[in-house]
Amino acid sequence: MSKASETILAVERVRKRFGGILAVFDVSFELKAGEFLGIIGPNGSGKTTLVNLITGFVKPDGGRVFFKGRDITSFMPYRIADMGIARTFQMVRLFYNLPAYKNIIIPLCSSRVRRLGAGRYGEKDDMAVDLLDDMGFERDSYVPYKTAGSLPHGYLKRLDLARAMALRPEVLILDELFSGMSLSEVASTLPLIEKFHEEGLSIIMIEHRLKELFRVVDRVLVLNFGRKIADGSPQEVMENEEVRKAYLGIEVEIL
Amino acid sequence: MIPTLLVYGLVNSVILALYALGFSLTYGISGLANFAHGALYILSGFAAWNLIHHMGIPLLPAALLSVALTGMLGFVFYWVLLLRIRGIALAELVVTFSAGVAILEILTWQGFYGIRYSLPVFLRGGIEVGGVAVDYQRLLVLGTGVVLVILLWLFVHHTRIGLAFRAMAQNERTALSVGIESDWVGSLSLAMGAALAAVAALVVLPLGVMESTIGYEVLIYALAVAIVGGLESTVGMILGSFLIGFGQVAAARFIGAKWMVIVPLAAIVVVLAVRPSGILGRFKELEERV
Amino acid sequence: MPDRKGIYRKKRLDRGIKARADTIYLIASWREIFYLLLPRAFPVGFLLILPAVLHGYWQKVLVFACVYGLLALSWDLLASCGLFSLGQALFFGAGAYLAGGLNYYLHLPPLVTVPAATVGGGLLCAGLLAPVIRLRGVYFAMVTLMFPLLLMRGIETTGVLGGTHGLSALSPFPGETLTAYLAVLAFLACLFLFRRLINSDYGLVLMAIRDDDRAVMSGGINIYWRKTQALFLAGSVGAFAGALMTHHFQFLGMSAFALDYSILPVAAVALGGQGSFAGAALGSMILVPLSESLRALGGLRIALYCIILMVSIVALPEGLFHYLERKYHQFETRAEVE
């Protein structure tokens, strides 16, 4: 396990200001290969902005992001995705008038998947259905072929996850994957993510459901008002005074 | 040499600002890019000409009547054509553009070109400024430009309708929720934009011969000024008109008179390619790129 | 309830021939095969017969219709990936000037100039518009509107490529009927190629870019490169139309960048309906002969296109083709309201 100590993603003092609001201020952290990192923080603490900064959807005012030692700060989102950082969206961005499996075709058309060896025309459909089958869309049912717009919310979230996984990423960033999911949907999705982690995928998970998050992650990073206030193992973070203050004790008690 | 350049550059810049004023006002308030602006401009000129020559109305009342008529046309335009497609930026663009082209082509078909179509000047004669002969009409253009900008500023910042306009420009939904009617403000903004085009036409057109093709040019100039300066910024609009105005005069002086028309077209293409939000446009960049 | 009697509502039912997806049909009889093939085979057959039947003036009109049809198809392809062009004249003019220039200065035959102008025009348009490809909607439309004007004024001012006088005495195609067939075949080929393309995975990605470019970017797809490819394709088709017209007229002038070539394709698509290419084809096949038969109106033709364009957008936003398609594929019965 020499790979486990290698840094795959490094964020160095990134900063972003929207108008007068400091969304993210001087946040730095490193992600080791194969690590499972959780990012938590109250609403508006800059979690989603941090994801946007890493994946290139927002350009930082300062600071840098490195992926496998390469500076990717100024890269366009598609280039970052092409290098192997896939993400899901908090508000799912899908093509609702397309059949569910057709949504997966789009990443399968990328040059990354072609490089890694994807099928020719026609085979992509099979690959998409295979992938959806893995995510719990039963291939023999009508579900993968229904238009995405007619599926319930929990399925949409998993469809978004399937779309991210279609890229065969090295780093997966989940932006509040469980928000809006029912308990049973969470219970069926969580093992999937644990499986990805066991297979060696590095994962960053942003979540409000602390109970589920703390069960699976190796390390937790806490943001508040755009600043990093804690970074450590779940135990360390839970005992941190500042974290308790940020959450006003409410959610920490649930733990 | 230098004084000529300065004076004519100044006059030219103010003319461009006048062209752009109505377009920018409408866009700034209701986000409506009125591509019929040039057509309304020249239409008001012909309306005034007809009032003077066929109905025998004196110049000043004819001019006022023409401004009012053009403003009303803008108002009607909104309720008839734009109401159903409001908010679909592209449909708005295509509809206003084709309405403009239709007006211009019908004017051409009617034979509205040639030397006999010219509006009388308000003031005859001229003076010398620093060794450069300037006629009174050009001074009137300068004065109108300055007065209009000041009046607009006062109107937008100190009257109830003006405040409603500003509210709409900032956030349409919030404005709706406090009881400002979006369609009402939208149609008023279009009417005011059209009326401003008419005012510009009536002071600028007497400097030359009227032709329906001028409508296309006015649209291009208005767009160029608005895009170079930044679509929603008033200061940017003034800056844009000065940049293009002096650029044109300089191009005419140093390269050749024919190059004057190239300047605004090239400016549009270059600015949109390099900095689409314009020189002073603020938040557009995030929206349009990435 | 006696007073409710006589109140009817429209009841719409799909004809039961579609299975699972839009493109998969369940066919059980010859009648159904005929039903499916008729709307495809009839227009194709009709168009293939036309050049042989028509003569003189109306043959020319057919060429016009196909040329404008090509421009409309090219417009529709760009619109499929979210690029709204108001400057089809740029593509047309680029092809026209490339073909005309090669023929006039280098004396190359049409057999060389037309293919060269097609590819070269596509490259030129993609190259010119690549810097502004990040612009969205209205902004892209404005740039494309300005480009042909800029090139037209540029040629006028500098006097290159014939300046205001243009280039004349260019080589014609051998025979009018051949020209008409070339135009019709190119038009049909382009129509079916584009329809095929948009239903493939490649087309799926293009349409996804129009709907949500950020989602596509997060799928690792270089949207600007895809859009540039679409520009090349659309530019090539437009340039081919320009090259064809240049040799057909045996003359090349600044009018190649005229507003006609920008507005009529948009009007044709607006009338026919966007998104299926068949709508664009239908629209141009209706509009061009209509405007030719109103030739006496002269300059008013452009005004007419504009009015049709406005009316289609405001009153018939789905377009004629989608309306007809719906009527063809659905029963409409009147059911009494209970």
For chain C, list the domains and their CATH numbers: 42-336 (1.10.3470)
Contact indicator for A27, A197 with CB cutoff of 8 Å:
no
Assess B274–A contact: CB distance below 8 Å, yes or no: no
Residue C254 identity: M
When mean pLDDT is compared across B119-123, C65-69, C252-256, the lowest value belongs to B119-123
Reference B138, options B127, B150, B151; nearest CA is: B127
Pick from C121, C108, C91: which is nearest to C171 by CA?
A: C108
Phi, psi for A66 (deg, rounded to 5) = -115, 135
Closest approach of C201 to chain B, Cα-based (Å): 24
Provide DSSP, B252-278.
HHHT-GGGGGHHHHHHHHHHHHH-TT-
Mutation site for B-interface testing, chosen from C302, C305, C311 by largest number of B Cβ within 10 Å? C302
Count the Cβ atoms, other than its own, within 10 Å of residue B282: 12
- Partners of residue C142 in chain B, C-beta under 8 Å: 223, 227, 268, 272
Q: Which of B108-117, C133-142, C264-273, C309-318 ranks highest by mean pLDDT?
A: C264-273
**Which range scores top for mean pLDDT: B88-97, B114-123, C89-98, C314-323?**
C89-98
Q: Cβ atoms within 10 A of the Cβ of C17, count? A: 13
Report the residue from A79, A93, A113 with minimal CB separation from C212.
A93
A55 touches chain C (CB under 8 A): yes
Rg (CA), chain B: 19
Chain A residues with CB-CB distance to C201 below 8 A: 105, 108-109, 121, 124
Contacts A77 to B, Cβ<8 Å: 290
Token pair for residue A7? 């840094």
- Parts of chain B with a pLDDT under 50: 284-290
- Please report all neighbours of B, defined by 3+ CB atom pairs within 8 A: A, C
C220 and chain A in contact, CB less than 8 A: yes
* Cβ partners under 8 Å of residue C185, min gap 6: none
Tens digits of per-residue pLDDT, C166-195? 888 888 888 888 999 999 999 999 999 999
Q: What is the CA radius of gyration of chain C?
A: 22
Question: Looking at CA atoms only, how far is residue C218 from chain B in angstroms?
Answer: 12
In the predicted model, is pLDDT for residue C267 greater than 70? yes
What residues contact C14, with CB distance under 8 A and at least 6 apart?
C329, C330, C331
Residue type, A223: L
d(CA C274, CA B143): 48
Instruction: Please choose, from the candidates A177, A196, A182, A197, the residue with its C-alpha nearest in 3D space to the C-alpha of residue A89.
Output: A177
Is pLDDT at C234 greater than 90 in this prediction? yes
Residue C162 has pLDDT above 50, yes or no: yes
Residues 6+ apart with CB under 8 A from C160: none
Identify the CA nearest to A157 among candidates A142, A136, A127, A128: A136
**Tokens linked to A110:** 């990328």
Q: Hey, are the CB atoms on C21 and A163 less than 8 Å from each other?
A: no
HEC string for chain C = CHHHCCCEEEEEEECCCECCCCCCECCCCHHHHHHHHHHHHHHHHHHHHHHHHCCHHHHHHHHHHHHHHHHHHHHHHHHHCCCCCCCHHHHHHHHHHHHHHHHHHHCCCHHHHHHHHHHHHHHHHHHHHHHHCCCCHHHHHHHHHHHHHHHHHHHHHHCHHHCCCCEECCCCCCCHHHHHHHHHHHHHHHHHHHHHHHHCHHHHHHHHHHHCHHHHHHCCCCHHHHHHHHHHHHHHHHHHHHHHHHHHHCEECHHHHCHHHHHHHHHHHHHHCCCCCHHHHHHHHHHHHHHHHCHHHCCHHHHHHHHHHHHHHHHCCCCHHHHHHHHHHEEEEEEECC
Asked if C136 and C85 touch (Cβ cutoff 8 Å), the reply is: no
Angle at B150 between CA B159 and CA B174, to 5 degrees: 40
Residue type, A138: E
Q: How far is B222 from B28, CA to CA, in rounded Å? A: 13
Residue B85, Cβ density class (10 Å: 0-12 exposed, 13-18 middle, ≥19 buried): middle
* Polymer length in residues for chain B: 290
Find residues 8-47 of chain B whose CB sits inside 8 Å of chain A. none
Nearest to C221 among A78, A89, A102 (CB): A78
pLDDT tens readout for residues C193-219:
999 999 888 999 999 998 888 889 998
Residue C54's pLDDT is what? 85
| Contact indicator for C207, C81 with CB cutoff of 8 Å | yes
How are beta strands A202-206 and A36-40 bridged, if at all? Answer: parallel
- Taking the C-alpha atoms of residue A87 and residue A47, their distance in angstroms, rounded to an integer, is 13
Percent of chain A with pLDDT over 90: 29
Q: SS3 of B57, please?
A: coil
- Would you call C300 and B97 a contact, using CB atoms and an 8 Å cutoff? no
Among the partner residues C211, C212, C218, nearest to A87 by beta-carbon distance: C218
Nearest to C51 by CA among C170, C169, C187, C172: C187
pLDDT number for residue B282:
59
pLDDT higher than 90, residue C258: no
Name residues 46-105 of chain A within 8 A of B (Cβ).
57-59, 76-77
Determine whether the interchain pair C139/B288 forms a contact, defined as Cβ–Cβ distance below 8 Å: yes
- The full DSSP string for B81-127 is IIGGGTT-HHHHHHHHHHHHHHHHHHHHHTT--STT--PPPSS--EE
* Tens digits of residue pLDDT in B17-45: 999 888 888 887 777 888 999 999 999 98
**Pair of tokens at residue C141:** 């439309």
Query: How remote is the C-alpha of C100 from its chain's centroid?
Result: 22
Chain C contact present for A102, CB below 8 A: yes
**Mind telling me how many Å the CA of A78 is from chain B's nearest CA?**
10
Cβ within 8 Å, pair B95-C310: yes
Contact residues of C toward B, CB < 8 A: 84, 86, 131-132, 134-139, 141-143, 145-147, 149-150, 153-154, 156-157, 259, 263, 266-267, 270, 297-300, 302-303, 305-307, 309-310, 313-314, 317
Which residue, chain included where needed, has tokens 């291939």?
A: A139
- Give B147→chain C minimum CA distance, Å: 30
Q: Which residues does chain C have within 8 Å of residue B251's beta carbon, measured at their own beta carbons?
A: none
Nearest C-alpha of chain B: how many angstroms from C262?
11
Encoded amino acid at A151, one letter? L
Considering only residues 74 to 93 of chain B, which have any Cβ-Cβ distance to chain C shorter than 8 Å?
A: 81, 84-85, 89-91, 93
Q: What is the pLDDT of residue A142?
A: 81
Residue C281 confidence (pLDDT): 93
Average pLDDT, chain C: 86
Q: What is the pLDDT of residue B1?
A: 67
- Cβ contacts from A onto B, under 8 A: 5
Q: Which residue has the higher pLDDT, C231 or B83?
A: C231
Strand blocks (E) in C158-230: 167-168
Q: Which two tokens stand for residue A94?
A: 């899908």
Q: DSSP label at C171?
A: P
* Dihedral angle sign, alpha carbons of residues B89, B91, B94, B97: negative
The verdict on C316 touching A (C-beta cutoff 8 Å) is: no
Contact C139 B268 (CB under 8 A): no
The pLDDT, as a whole number, for residue C21 is 53
d(CA B55, CA A153): 69
Q: Does C218 touch chain A (CB under 8 A)?
A: yes
Q: Which of residues 104-163 of A touch C (CB under 8 A)?
A: 105-113, 121, 124, 145, 163
| Residues in B touching A59 (Cβ below 8 Å) | 290
The residue-averaged pLDDT of A226-240 equals 85
Domain boundaries, chain B: 2-288
Is B170 near chain A, with CB under 8 Å? no
Q: How far apart are CA B149 and CA B22, in angstroms?
A: 11
Going by C-alpha positions, the residue among C125, C120, C92, C49 that lies closest to residue C244 is: C92
Is the separation of the CB atoms in A101 and A132 below 8 Å?
yes
Report pLDDT for B289.
Answer: 38
Give yes or no for residue A1 having a pLDDT over 60: no
Name the residue with higher pLDDT: A147 or B159.
A147
Could you tell me if A103 and A60 are in contact, meaning their C-beta atoms sit under 8 angstroms apart? no
Tell me which residue in A57, A99, A145 faces C214 most closely, judged by beta carbons.
Answer: A57
Q: Would the pLDDT of C57 be above 80?
A: yes
Which of C218, C226, C228 should be substituted to probe chain A, the one whose Cβ sees the most A Cβ atoms within 10 Å? C218
Q: Which residues of A touch C204 (CB under 8 A)?
A: 98, 102, 105-106, 109
Q: Which two tokens stand for residue C195?
A: 């329809």
Residue B287 sits at the chain A interface (C-beta within 8 Å): no
- Check pLDDT > 60 for residue A119: no
- What confidence tier does A172 reach under pLDDT thresholds 50, 70, 90? very high
- Beta A202-206 vs C167-168: how paired, if at all? unpaired
DSSP element (H, E) containing B51: helix B37-55
Tokens standing for residue C227: 């859009």
Strand partners, B128: B133
Q: In the block, which residue shows the tokens 């579609």?
A: C18
Q: Which residues of A touch B287 (CB under 8 A)?
A: none
Mutation to test the B interface, candidates C150, C155, C160, C318, most B Cβ within 10 Å:
C150
User: Taking the alpha carbons of C101, C103, C104, C107 in that order, is the dihedral positive or negative?
Assistant: positive
Residue A171, pLDDT above cutoff 90: yes
* C200 contact residues in A (CB cutoff 8 A): 121
CB B220 within 8 A of CB B206: no
Contact assessment for residue B40 and residue B68, using Cβ atoms and an 8 Å cutoff:
no
Cβ burial of C274 (10 Å; 0-12, 13-18, 19+) is buried
CATH fold, domain B2-288, is: ABC transporter involved in vitamin B12 uptake, BtuC (1.10.3470)
- Distance (Å) from the C-alpha of residue C48 to the closest C-alpha of chain B? 34
How far is it, in rounded angstroms, from Cα C263 to Cα C266?
A: 5
Sign of CA dihedral B18, B24, B30, B32: positive
What local confidence, expressed as pLDDT, does residue C39 receive? 83
> Is-contact A77 A167, C-beta < 8 A?
no
Answer whether C275's CB lies under 8 Å from C80's CB. yes
Paired tokens of B3: 């004084």
pLDDT higher than threshold 80 for residue C6: no
Lowest-confidence segment of A121-125, C6-10, C71-75 by average pLDDT = A121-125
Q: Which bin fits C298, alpha (ψ -120 to 50), beta or left (φ > 0)?
A: left
Count the neighbouring beta carbons within 10 Å of the beta carbon of residue B260.
Answer: 18
Nearest CA in chain C to A96: C211
Averaged pLDDT for residues A15-38: 88
Concatenated DSSP letters of B151-192: HHHHHHHHSHHHHHHHHHHH-HHHHHHTT--HHHHHHHHHHH
Mean per-residue pLDDT for C282-303? 81
Three-state secondary-structure class, residue C82: coil
- In terms of CA atoms, which chain A residue is nearest residue C21? A145
Q: Where is A84: in which H helix or E strand?
A: none
Q: Which chains touch A (3 or more CB pairs under 8 A)?
A: B, C
Return the number of other C-beta atoms located less than 10 Å from residue A208's C-beta. Answer: 15
